[in-house]
Chains A and B, each alone.
Chain A
Amino acid sequence: METVVIGVIGADVHAVGNRIIEYALKQAGFNVVNLGVMVSQQEFLDAVIETNAKAVIVSSLYGHGELDCRGMGDRFIEAGYGHVLLYIGGNLVIGKTDFSEVEVKFKAMGFHRVFPPNSDINEGIERLKEDLLKS
C-alpha cells in the first residue's frame, strides 16, 4: 500500500475538497497522510521523509498557490526527495488565466501534474497509479 501525503498549502483554510481527496484515495487503497489546512512546504517535505510517501497532492483554492508553491520542487530535490511525485490542483491563480499557462508555470516549479478546477478526483487517481508504476 503506497503512502500519499495530502494537504492545503499556505494560508488557505478550504478543508472540504481535501477531505474528499482523502476519502477517494483511501477507497482506492492508498495509505493517506492528511496534513489538513494551512500546510507549509516544509511540513509536506517532513511528512514525506518520515512516512516514505511516494506522492504529494497539494490543494490550493484561494488563488495564491503560485506564491505558496514557489521553490517547492527545488526544496524536495535539495532534500534528496526529487523522486517523489508532486501533484497540485484547485483554483491556482486569481482571474481568468488560460489553464495551459497555469500548467506551464506550476510544472516549472517542479510539479509533475497540475489539475484545473472541477477535475474528477478518480481520473486523477488513475494518473497517480500510472505514474507510480513508472517511477
Chain B
Amino acid sequence: MKRYCLMDVGSTFTKGCWVDTDHVGVLAWASAPTTASSDINEGIQNVLNKLKTIYPDFNYESMRLCSSAKGGLRMVAIGLVEDLTLKAARMACANAGAKLVGAYSHKINLQELKEIEHLKPDIILLSGGTDGGNEEVVLHNAKQLAKLNTALPILYAGNKSCQDEIQQILNEAKHDVRISANVMPTYGVLNVESARDQIRACFLEQIIEAKGLSALSTIVQDIIMPTPASVLDALSLLAYGTKDEKGLGDLMAVDVGGATTDVYSLTSNQAAPSGVQIKGLIEPLAKRSVEGDLGLRISAKHVLDLDSELHENEDLCRYVDRITQEIHGTSNSSFDIRLASSCVKIASRRHAGRLEQIYTPMGLETIQYGKDLRTVKTLIGIGGPIVYADEPSLILSQVKQTEADILLPQSLEFILDKQYVLSCLGLLAKTDPEWTLKTMKHHLEKING
C-alpha cells in the first residue's frame, strides 16, 4: 500500500487528490486558489489543510506535483528548415508539456537574438541538421546564443556530429547546456522522446527554482512536471492500456483554457490508406499541440478575428471586450460556450492531418499531410470551460469531421474529466500503471453526444 498526495498547481486553482494505490479510486479531493504572489506554497498548504480538516486520517508517504502556474513551461525552439527540424523541435516542446513562445529557422540574426532575450524563455531547444548533416547553421546559432546576456538552460537536440563543439561554445558562455538525441536524426524521421525527457528533467531541476517554487522541494519528494506532460502520460495510458488492463483504444482530448487550447491525439496506426502518398514528417502516435492564440480570456479577441460568425454578434464582441479587461469578471455561460466551441473547432483542425487531391497525367492522386484521426472513436473533454459548460457536447462535437479533406474523427463518444483527475493521475502513470488506468476509468464520465 502506498498513499500519495497528487497536486495540480494551475494558474488560478491548485487542486489536490489523495489516493491509496490499494484501492481503485481517489479517496478525496480539495482545491484552493493558487497564490499568485512570489510563492505558490500557500495555495498548496491551503489544499493540504482542507484535506486534513475534512479527513482527520489524511496522511501520505509521498507528494507529487504538476504545475502550469506562472505561465507554465515557456520555450523557444530553433531549427534549420521550417518544415523539418523546426517542426520536429516544435513537436518535442509540445510533447514535453511546454508552451512555445518563439520559433526560429535557419541562421538567427542579432534582431532575433534580442527577441529571444526579450521573451525570456525557461528553456531554449536548439536543433538543426540530420546526424551527419548540416553543421554550419547550428554552429552559427550556438555562437549567437552564446552572446545572450542572461545565462539560460539550452537543450541541444541537433546534428550529433557537432554536439561536442556546441557544448563547448555554450559552456564557455556559462549557459546551462543539456544534450539529447537529435529530434530528426535522419530525414523525415521524428525522435522526440529523448529531448522530451531532458526538457522534463530541466523543468524539475532548474525551472522550479526560477519560478519561485523552490520551497516545494522540501514537501514534494519526487516527480514534478509541467501539467500538460502529466496529462499526456495519463492519456497515453488510457489509450494504450497495460498488459493486463485494456485501454480505451485510439482517442483524442481537448482542453480549453483562458489563454491556450490544447489538443491531444493518441493513435496506434500511421499507415496511409492504399493509393495515398504521405508527405512531410511522420507525426508521433502520442501528439499534443497547443494553440497560444486560442483561449476564452486572454486570447478571446483573437478567436473573434478568426471566426467571422462570432465577429458579427455585437453582444458577444462587447462581452469579449469586457472579459479581456477583467479576466475574473462575471462570465456569461452561453457566450463562453460559443467561444470555447470556436477554440475547439479551430484547434482540432490545426492538429489533424489533411488530404490534398492533385490531378496528374495518370489520374487523380491523393497526398496526406499529418495524422489521420478519422477512425478515432473517443474524445475526452478536460478543463473547467468544457467540464462545467451547460452543454459540453456542443463544444466537443466541433471536433467531428465536417470537411472531407480534414482528417478528424467521423463519429465520437464523449467523455468528461469532471473531477479533474487526469492531470493528477498522470503523475502515477509510470509508477503504477494498472492502478492508475483503473482509477481513471472509474472517474471518467461518458456523456451523450
Interface residues of A (CB under 8 A from B): 3, 5, 11-13, 31, 33, 35-38, 43, 46-47, 49-53, 62-64
Give how many B residues have a beta carbon under 8 Å from the other chain's beta carbons. 25
Q: At the interface with chain A, which of B80-88, B286-294, B441-449?
A: B80-88
- Name 21 interchain pairs, CB-CB below 8 A, sorted by A: A3-B133, A11-B359, A11-B360, A11-B362, A12-B362, A35-B187, A37-B277, A46-B81, A46-B84, A49-B134, A49-B137, A50-B85, A50-B130, A50-B184, A50-B187, A51-B130, A51-B132, A51-B187, A52-B130, A52-B133, A62-B360
Q: Please measure, in the bound complex, the distance between the C-alpha atom of A12 and the C-alpha atom of B84, giving whole angstroms.
A: 23
**B128 partner residues in chain A, CB cutoff 8 A:** 50
Quick one: given A11-B360, A46-B84, are A52 and B134 in contact (CB under 8 Å)?
yes
Nearest Cβ in chain A — how far from B228, in angstroms? 28
Interface string of B100-116 (1 = CB under 8 A from A): 00000000000000000
> B132 contacts A62, CB within 8 Å?
no
Quick one: given A38-B367, A51-B133, A52-B135, are A12 and B360 in contact (CB under 8 Å)?
yes
> B361 contacts the other chain (Cβ, under 8 Å)?
yes
**B81 partner residues in chain A, CB cutoff 8 A:** 46, 49-50
Q: Please measure, in the bound complex, the distance between the C-alpha atom of A62 and the C-alpha atom of B279, giving whole angstroms.
A: 20
> B210 contacts the other chain (Cβ, under 8 Å)?
no
> A50 contacts B360, CB within 8 Å?
no
Chain B residue, CB-CB nearest to A5: B187
Q: Please measure, in the bound complex, the distance between the C-alpha atom of A20 and the C-alpha atom of B343, giving whole angstroms.
A: 48
> B129 contacts the other chain (Cβ, under 8 Å)?
yes
> B365 contacts A38, CB within 8 Å?
yes
> B132 contacts A50, CB within 8 Å?
no
Chain A residue, CB-CB nearest to B360: A11
> A33 contacts B187, CB within 8 Å?
yes
Besides A13-B365, A38-B367, 8 other CB < 8 A contacts? A11-B362, A12-B360, A35-B187, A38-B277, A47-B84, A50-B85, A51-B133, A63-B361
Q: Which of A37, A46, A50, A64 has the most CB of B within 10 A?
A: A50
> B404 contacts the other chain (Cβ, under 8 Å)?
no
Interface residues of B (CB under 8 A from A): 80-81, 83-85, 128-130, 132-135, 137, 184, 186-187, 277, 279, 358-362, 365, 367
**A49 partner residues in chain B, CB cutoff 8 A:** 80-81, 134, 137
Chain A residue, CB-CB nearest to B367: A38
Q: Which of B80, B187, B358, B365 has the most CB of A within 10 A?
A: B187
**A11 partner residues in chain B, CB cutoff 8 A:** 358-362, 365
Q: Please measure, in the bound complex, the distance between the C-alpha atom of A52 and the C-alpha atom of B360, giving whole angstroms.
A: 31
> B362 contacts A13, CB within 8 Å?
yes
Q: Please measure, in the bound complex, the distance between the C-alpha atom of A101 and the C-alpha atom of B358, giving whole angstroms.
A: 30
Quick one: given A11-B361, A11-B365, A13-B365, are A52 and B129 in contact (CB under 8 Å)?
yes
> A50 contacts B361, CB within 8 Å?
no
**A43 partner residues in chain B, CB cutoff 8 A:** 279
Nearest Cβ in chain A — how far from B162, in angstroms? 11
Quick one: given A11-B360, A11-B361, A46-B83, are A52 and B187 in contact (CB under 8 Å)?
no
Chain B residue, CB-CB nearest to A42: B83
Q: Please measure, in the bound complex, the distance between the C-alpha atom of A63 and the C-alpha atom of B360, giving whole angstroms.
A: 11
Q: Please measure, in the bound complex, the distance between the C-alpha atom of A50 and the C-alpha atom of B358, giving whole angstroms.
A: 27
Q: Please measure, in the bound complex, the distance between the C-alpha atom of A55 and the C-alpha atom of B148, giving whole angstroms.
A: 37
> B362 contacts A62, CB within 8 Å?
yes
> A47 contacts B187, CB within 8 Å?
yes
> A50 contacts B135, CB within 8 Å?
no
**A36 partner residues in chain B, CB cutoff 8 A:** 277
Chain A residue, CB-CB nearest to B280: A43
What 9 A-B pairs are tightest by C-beta distance, nearest first? Answer: A11-B360, A51-B133, A52-B133, A33-B187, A46-B81, A52-B134, A51-B130, A50-B84, A62-B361
Nearest Cβ in chain A — how far from B176, in angstroms? 27
Q: Please measure, in the bound complex, the distance between the C-alpha atom of A62 and the C-alpha atom of B359, giving whole angstroms.
A: 13
Q: Please measure, in the bound complex, the distance between the C-alpha atom of A39 and the C-alpha atom of B85, giving whole angstroms.
A: 18
**A51 partner residues in chain B, CB cutoff 8 A:** 129-130, 132-134, 187
**A47 partner residues in chain B, CB cutoff 8 A:** 84, 187
Q: Please measure, in the bound complex, the distance between the C-alpha atom of A43 and the C-alpha atom of B83, giving whole angstroms.
A: 9
